[in-house]
Amino acid sequence: MSLFIKKPISVLMAEASETEKGLKKTLGAGSLVALGIGAIIGAGLFVRTASAAAQNAGPSVTLGFIVAAIGCALAGLCYAELSSSIPIAGSAYTYSYATMGELIAWIIGWDLILEYAVGAATVGIAWSEYLNNLLVNVIGWKAIPYEWCHSPFEKLVDPATHEVLAHGMMNIPALSIVTLLTLLLIKGTQESALVNGIIVIAKVAIVILIIILGWGFINPANHTPYIPEAGTYTDHQGIAHNFGGIMGILGAAGVVFFAFIGFDAVSTAAQEAKNPKRDMPIGILGSLVVCTVLYILFAHVLTGIATTEDFRTSGKEASVAFAINKYMIGYTWLGKLVTVAILAGFSSVILVMLLGQSRVFYSMSKDGLLPGAFSAIHPKYKTPYKASLFILILVGLFAAFVPGDIVGDMTSIGTLFAFMLVCAAVIVLRKTNPELKREFKTPWVPFVPILGIVVCGAMIFGLGWTNWLRLIVWLAIGFVIYFAYSRKNSKLQKGIVVNPKDPVDPLNPL
């Protein structure tokens, strides 16, 4: 059989219909918007803003957010059309299977692991770091011992004597938060969405507080010039960055792109949406618009309160709390709330990443590309619990035993690659299935999808050859698994088309 055999649209639409054996439809437009905001607002808003201002753009980091948002919006328009036309779990994997064939679908499914599973582990490690910040600076307790909140590959060194003070053993807080959120997802998507909704309300409220209260502390001198003169900045690690001018803004866009990762995770829950044809476009584009507005206002206030030099020296990762405590006299309580908001933000990001990964595994398993156990639906909770448990093992091991700074850019490459394939899928599907009912249509096809491919491709190019090499190695491993297992067990390759209404035992799927 062909490597590029396509999954019929009719089969996808049948799978999307309500059945007793399928995923439970519990999510409305509001829940999907909250899900998107929960995935997007996290480390990016509180950490990447200051980093991009320090290394690349100064106050013009706001323009970097706009550039990154344009790239995401172009891909978001394509996601909205596909998710409303093909309301099925699996996101870019499913869209690629229907439009470009099985091998491309496998590549993107394997690639999405970089975004969801690796991303969830990385954020889990960051959550562990900020938990210590909360314990020490907010509550006033002692920090968790170094050995039990760092991986075995990390060590604590005295900066003065260079003496090794402690060795990491296992990151217990990171493993704990991943485990807790996985169990919540198994309990039910509706319950997870409820918890996520509460978190979203809390952290968005704190962001709005910072914008409103901080506006009065903006020093116009910190915004002059708004776009610094083009030059270079060498950070404390000796790495040179383009600073100021057009290249500085584009560099900032690449840095703050991480802050937008997550809105596409909404599309993985399409099969659990009550009215996907209406709710999916609202969920994807609505969450993107809300976060973009908050990002621009937040960046404008933050760079107006503190100087670029503050972000380079004293502030670092805790620049937001630092700026509040130093310049917003009388608002130290707000600085403490920021730490709480960061922890809440990280929690909701992990939650949505785990949700997205389990749904991709669920879809690939139903197609035979992964073992059938991953598509097993819990008889009571109606969630893919075996997929979630397997992902818990993968993500948990990574979070507990691997340093968090190893694969950050790989997460970005996985996301951008998915965006490019989704944009291409819209063009292909318009040609191959013009009769397909589309509740939402991407405007100006093929101009918008092509522009999305170009913008995302440019951001990938900016990540450098080392990240391309990592991606190539990751894809090579995926090819080995595909040709050794997946192609032989593919239901389409075997000529098997499963009707979701057939009486199949959900605990022992074909």
pLDDT at 509: 33
* 125 Cβ contact list (under 8 Å, min separation 6): 151, 171, 174, 399, 402, 403, 404
* 20: pLDDT strictly greater than 60: no
Per CATH, is 9-489 categorized as 1.20.1740.10? yes
How many percent of the chain have pLDDT more than 70? 85
pLDDT at 304: 94
* 432: pLDDT strictly greater than 60: yes
pLDDT at 230: 87
Least confident of 21-25, 218-222, 316-320, 372-376: 21-25
Average pLDDT, the chain: 81
Highest mean pLDDT among 215-219, 309-313, 381-385, 469-473: 215-219
Label residue 506 by pLDDT band (50, 70, 90).
very low
Distance in angstroms (rounded) separating the CA atoms of residues 89 and 356: 9
pLDDT at 19: 44
pLDDT at 486: 92
Taking CA 89 as the corner, what is the angle to CA 87 and CA 91, rounded to the nearest 5 degrees? 90
pLDDT at 409: 60
Distance in angstroms (rounded) separating the CA atoms of residues 201 and 37: 10
Q: Which residue has the higher pLDDT, 90 or 248?
A: 248
3-state secondary structure of 219: coil
Which tens digits make up the pLDDT trace of 136-147? 878 888 889 989
Least confident of 74-88, 262-276, 414-428: 262-276
291: tokens are 């976060």
Distance in angstroms (rounded) separating the CA atoms of residues 283 and 34: 8
Label residue 500 by pLDDT band (50, 70, 90).
very low
* 338: pLDDT strictly greater than 50: yes
